[in-house]
């Protein structure tokens, strides 16, 4: 089966040239012309590698890279006309695997894509991530069965509550802003004043038996959002 690539590029002519070339190389391509469209396509499709421009409408490439990297290890390549070191460093720090400056040769692009795909497939075949996590206080998160128990009693979570808990638990001690959580879980651009995340976190905490003054699992980071602080059982 050919590798499926997501190309997020607002320049129609560049997108056409890249797509034509990569299709001739045997790849399947999905094209998104805005950052928000790329974010939506990322969640509705299954991709082996993603190419992202930085100067995108609706959601810039840096934000898109950060959001994708929070939930996926898929190879992520930035293609941009911005050649300053600051942009390159920022893109790589946000999780991009490579940074290709425009203009670039199509043969170089193909070679880099092929190299990253080989590396990722080798890495994926070797990696085994724990899917069942047990925490102090009796919390168990079973990702394979999408099951959460507390002191051996199943907890009934909504789809969004499960997604919030899963995202936070996959990145322990990382402080997520409410904006990040909303865009990751609801797959939409957050609007200022939206309290959807706060409402769902409050409900999730209630179901986890949390004391907001001494939380065991979800801690409020004042001025930012929330972080998962559960301690894994050895």
Asked if the domains at 4-124 and 132-228 fall in one CATH topology, the answer is no
Query: How confident is the model at residue 191, as a pLDDT?
Result: 77
Determine the pLDDT at residue 111.
94
Instruction: Kindly tell me if the per-residue pLDDT of 145 is higher than 90.
Output: no
Residue range 49-58: mean pLDDT, rounded: 96
As a whole-number percent, the residues of the chain with pLDDT over 70 amount to: 97
* pTM beyond 0.75, yes or no: no
Kindly report the CATH number that applies to the domain delimited by 4-124: 3.40.50.2300
The residues spanned by each domain of the chain are: 4-124, 132-228
Contact 87, 111 (CB under 8 A): no
What's the average model confidence in pLDDT over 151-174?
92
CA–CA distance, 21 with 82 (Å, rounded to integer): 23
Residue 163 has pLDDT above 60, yes or no: yes
What architecture does CATH give domain 132-228? Orthogonal Bundle (1.10)
Residue 155: pLDDT above 70? Answer: yes
- Rounded to whole angstroms, how far apart are CA atoms 228 and 165? 8
pLDDT of residue 124: 61
Using 50, 70 and 90 to split pLDDT, how confident is the model at 186? confident
């Amino acid at each position: 089966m050919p590798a499926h690539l997501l190309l997020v590029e607002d320049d129609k002519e560049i997108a056409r040239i890249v797509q034509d070339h990569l299709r001739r190389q045997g790849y399947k391509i999905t094209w998104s012309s805005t950052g928000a469209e790329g974010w939506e396509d990322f969640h509705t499709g299954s991709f082996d590698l993603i190419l992202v421009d930085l100067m995108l409408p609706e959601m810039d490439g840096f934000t898109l890279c950060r959001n994708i990297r929070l939930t996926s290890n898929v190879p992520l390549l930035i293609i941009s006309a911005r050649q300053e070191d600051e942009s390159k460093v920022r893109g790589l720090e946000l999780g991009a695997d490579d940074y290709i400056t425009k203009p670039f040769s199509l043969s170089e692009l193909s070679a880099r894509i092929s190299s990253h795909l080989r590396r990722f497939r080798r890495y994926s075949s070797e990696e085994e991530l724990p899917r069942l996590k047990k925490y102090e206080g009796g919390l168990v998160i079973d990702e394979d069965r999408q099951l959460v128990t507390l002191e051996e009693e199943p907890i009934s979570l909504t789809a969004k509550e499960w997604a919030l808990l899963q995202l936070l638990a996959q990145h322990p001690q990382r402080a997520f802003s409410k904006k990040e959580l909303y865009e990751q879980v609801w797959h939409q651009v957050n609007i200022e004043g939206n309290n959807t995340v706060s409402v769902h976190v409050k409900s999730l905490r209630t179901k986890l038996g949390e004391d907001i003054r001494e939380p065991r699992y979800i801690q409020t980071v004042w001025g930012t959002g929330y972080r998962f602080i559960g301690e894994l059982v050895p």
